[in-house]
Amino acid sequence: MYAISSNERLDPSVFATLEGIEYFLFEEDFVEAGMRCIPMIVRFRMDLAGIKLKLAEWVKFSVEEKVMLALRGTNTSLEILEYRKMLESMILKHTGKPATQLEVSLNPAWKDIQQIPAILVSRAEEFGFYLSIDQWQCLTDLQRFALLKLLKEGHENKNFPRALAEFEIFYTDKLKVNVC
């Protein structure tokens, strides 16, 4: 894991080359620009922690804080709790206001590998992709989360087909082209 010293200053373009930061190619345009948008890995972790981070709050964070949020683990209940406390503290520090709480879903749609959400199937087909249950099961939690997040209002539709292609969802006309 990458450690940030208090004396180290990161250039915004460093995000793309930092080891341990997980981001997708469809995010590259804003990862390169100092993470001006909240990357999927941070959105994923915030949802696990039950905190909503507004873009206006995100832009107030330093590059180092953004890197920390991208790298910090959320694999255990304790890590999720620590992430939540850290994020709440950062939001309060930068805005003077408490963090906006989110309800944490015990069974988020991205976690169910036995069923593809209908909205995802229909939207994928609109772009000429056919997502099979086999491919859904091959995706990582973060990939499934990202696909569903990209369908929410306020996200650019251009990134949804880019994400499908990046995740190698190359089914067209229900003919299998690639399976994990």
Give me the pLDDT at residue 111, please. 96
* Backbone dihedral angles phi then psi of residue 147, each to the nearest 5 degrees: -60, -45
pLDDT digit string, tens, across residues 9-46: 444 445 666 777 777 888 876 665 556 788 899 999 99
Cα atoms in the Cβ-side hemisphere of radius 13 Å centred on 28: 6
Residues 76 and 122 in one domain: no
- CA torsion sign for 178, 45, 78, 67 is positive
Q: Which domain holds residue 70?
A: 12-101
pTM of the predicted protein model: 0.84
Q: Looking at the structure, do residues 92 and 118 belong to the same domain, yes or no?
A: no
The H or E element that residue 166 is part of is: helix 159-166
124 and 88 part of one domain:
no
Question: Does 174 map to a domain?
Answer: no
Q: 128 and 71, same structural domain?
A: no
* Whether residues 116 and 97 fall in one domain: no
Q: Is residue 148 part of a domain?
A: yes
Same domain? For 91 and 134 the reply is: no
Coil/strand/helix, residue 136:
helix
Q: Residue 138 class from Cβ within 10 Å (0-12 exposed, 13-18 middle, 19+ buried)?
A: middle
Nearest partner of 48 among 129, 5, 111, 96, judged by Cα: 111
What is the per-residue pLDDT across 90-129, written as a single tens digit (0 to 9) for each? 999 999 999 999 999 999 999 999 999 999 999 999 888 8
Q: Is residue 179 situated within a structural domain?
A: no
Among residues 81, 101, 121, the one where a domain terminates is 101
Residues 117 and 154 in one domain: yes
The winner for highest mean pLDDT among 57-66, 76-85, 116-125 is: 76-85
Residue 65 and residue 39 share a domain: yes
Quick check: 49 and 87 in contact, CB under 8 A? yes
